[in-house]
Chain A
Amino acid sequence: MIEQPSQSTSQKEKQNSKYDDELEGFGDEFEVEELCDPFNGYNRAMTIFNDRLYEYVLKPVAKGYKYVLHVEARESIRNFFNNLYFPMRFVNNTLQGKFYYASEETGRFVINTTIGILGLFDPAKVHFNLDAHDEDFGQTLGFYGVGSGPHIVLPLFGPSNLRDFISLYPDALLSPIDYAERSYWSLTDTWPEYLGVKAFEKVNYISLDMDKYEKMKRDAVDLYPYFRDIYEQYRKKQIEE
């Protein structure tokens, strides 16, 4: 009887050594390249700041907001914002030579702005089967081979990297929600207005899927590298498409 446990351990050992040979075959597939991460300390602090911001401010606000506003209204608000970002998607699709996507985006914008009442509804998808094609300047740069550079966590916006951070500027020029001096129309003029609108957009977005952040966070043992890796892998995939 005493022999029993030692036997099962030796069986397990045998199994482990069998796997050791097999592990070799997976070596290349999962070799994590050494990431250049000079802002590690700042990024960690900002990840915690964003996490707290979510837990103690955005989530409770989104909860209350969800309670007062019907889901259809909130979906319409999200659609409205998405429609506003059409120029960014159009230009970046075009810059990457994705002309078909750019034309589909144009169709969406025309239909949703008119029939869809300023973008509040999405008849382009429902009735015309026109899909959205998210492209931003970071993806455009990536498309032409620009590397991501070091990872940077932004306040409120979350994970980013040098390439995507710099790309926020050209994209902002194509967005009606911005605070830079311009000779053409924009929805917000000063940065407090801009931040207010952006926070509202974020709260509205969170309210549509309250558990999304928690679901993602669930598997993290170390929040910062976890979100950093998810972001970089996701961007890589977006650029490849």
Chain B
Amino acid sequence: MKHIYKKILALCVMMLFVQNLAADEQSDLKNRFLDKINEVILIVENKKLSKDDRNHNIVKSLTPMFDFELMAKLSLGNTWKELSKENANRFVDLYVERMKHSYSAKIDAYENEKVEVKKIEQPQANRIAIITDLVSKEDTLDIVYKYHKPNSKEAGKDEWLIYDVEILGISILKTDRAQFKEFLRTKSIIDLMDALAKQS
């Protein structure tokens, strides 16, 4: 009987430990996220920089926290597997370039907004979602940053990487996936790449 108690106790301690570990992981990531935001705000508010320099610095600062390559692949869905190596590489490059441009354009609109972390969720061991509010004078935008932890860390990249952003429930990745799918129904991947090239 005593044995069972010991086992249960051991199990409880272990579970507590695992939970603590997860909590640490979450707060670490949250701190990194907030540090990054502050870093970007400092760049945005630096009036000495030209607009191009500013955007370049922002993209440089944000790149390590995003898994643009994974986003590019997920945005194509099953079509991704059918691409030739050459097209696959070109598509990733174009998608990443477009993402960076899109981000720069969004940051241009930034005006004294504040980021507040509302909640952190960890649906799986290797997935964390940071749920935030972007508070401005006018209203509040609900933005979710979805992170995953790749099996092996890549040089120059963070341990946890963002693979999707949801703004007011609208997932960037899902939207791209839907529009690319419909686009490819009537046109070729080459057309899609040309269209992407035009956007950056």
* Chain A residues engaging chain B, CB cutoff 8 angstroms: 9, 12-13, 15-16, 18-20, 22-23, 25-26, 30, 32, 211, 215, 218-222, 224-226, 228-230, 233-234, 236-238, 240
Once the chains are docked, how many angstroms separate the CA of A237 from the CA of B181? 22
Most chain B Cβ neighbours within 10 Å, of A32, A219, A224, A234: A219
Complex CA distance for A228 and B178, rounded to whole angstroms = 9
Contact yes or no, B163 A221, CB < 8 A? no
Within 8 A of A (CB), among B56-97: 69-70, 73-74, 77, 80-81, 85, 88-89
Bin chain B's interface residue count.
35 or more
With a CB–CB cut-off of 8 A, which chain A residues contact B102?
218-219
The answer, among A13, A23, A211, A226, for a CB contact under 8 Å with B73, is: A23
On whether A221 and B169 interact (CB within 8 A), knowing A19-B73, A22-B150, the answer reads no
Interface 9-residue window, one of B2-10, B16-24, B40-48, B192-200: B192-200
Shortest distance in angstroms between A232's beta carbon and chain B's nearest beta carbon? 9
Interface assignment of B52: CB less than 8 Å from any CB of chain A? no
Nearest CB in chain B to that of A26: its residue: B74
Chain A neighbourhood of B151, CB < 8 A: 18, 22
Per the bound structure, the CA–CA distance linking A25 and B179 in Å amounts to: 22
Task: State the CA gap A18–B150 with chains docked (Å).
Answer: 10
* B109 contacts A211, C-beta separation under 8 Å: yes
Nearest B residue to A219 via CB reads: B102
For this complex, 30 residue pairs linking A to B, each with C-beta atoms less than 8 Å apart, are A9-B85, A12-B89, A16-B88, A18-B152, A19-B69, A22-B151, A23-B70, A23-B73, A25-B148, A26-B70, A30-B177, A32-B174, A32-B178, A32-B181, A215-B106, A218-B105, A219-B102, A219-B172, A219-B199, A222-B182, A225-B181, A225-B183, A228-B178, A229-B174, A229-B175, A229-B178, A230-B175, A233-B171, A234-B170, A237-B170
Residues of A within 8 A of B179 (CB): 220-222, 225-226, 229
- B168: chain A residues within 8 A (beta carbon): 234, 237
Pairwise interchain contact A221-B199, C-beta atoms closer than 8 A: yes
CA distance A12 to B73 in the complex (A): 14
Name which residue of chain A comes closest to B88, CB basis. A16
19 other contacts beyond A30-B77, A32-B177, with CB at 8 A cut-off?
A12-B89, A13-B85, A18-B152, A20-B81, A23-B70, A23-B74, A26-B74, A30-B177, A32-B77, A215-B105, A218-B105, A219-B175, A222-B182, A224-B182, A225-B182, A226-B178, A233-B170, A237-B169, A240-B169
The answer to whether A233 and B177 touch across the interface, beta carbons within 8 angstroms, is no
Q: Which residues of chain A are near B152, meaning CB under 8 Å? A: 18
- B173 near A: Cβ within 8 Å? yes
In terms of DSSP, what is the predominant structure of the interface of chain B?
Answer: helix
Q: Once the chains are docked, how many angstroms separate the CA of A192 from the CA of B171?
A: 38
A139 to B172, CA, bound (A): 23
The distance from the CB of B128 to the nearest CB of chain A, in whole angstroms, is 14
Across the interface, B183 reaches (CB within 8 A) one of A25, A221, A229, namely: A221
Dominant SS at the A interface? helix
Quick one: which of B144-189 are within 8 Å of A by CB? 148, 150-152, 163, 168-183
Give chain B interface residues in 104-138, CB to chain A under 8 Å: 105-106, 109, 126
Name the B residues within 8 Å of A13 (CB-CB): 85
The answer to whether B169 touches A30, judged by C-beta atoms less than 8 angstroms apart, is: no
Q: How far is the CA of A225 from the CA of B80 in the complex (A)?
A: 19
From B150, B173, B192, A221 is in contact (CB under 8 Å) with B192
Q: In the complex, A117 Cα to B179 Cα: how many Å?
A: 45
A222 to B180, CA, bound (A): 8
A219 contacts which chain B residues (CB < 8 A)?
98, 102, 172, 175-176, 199
CB distance from B25 to the nearest CB of A (A): 18
**Quick check: B175 and A233 within 8 Å, CB to CB?**
yes
Given A30-B74, A219-B102, does the pair A230, B182 have CB atoms closer than 8 Å?
no
Complex contacts, B85 vs chain A, CB 8 Å:
9, 13, 16
For A209, the closest partner residue in chain B by CB is B138
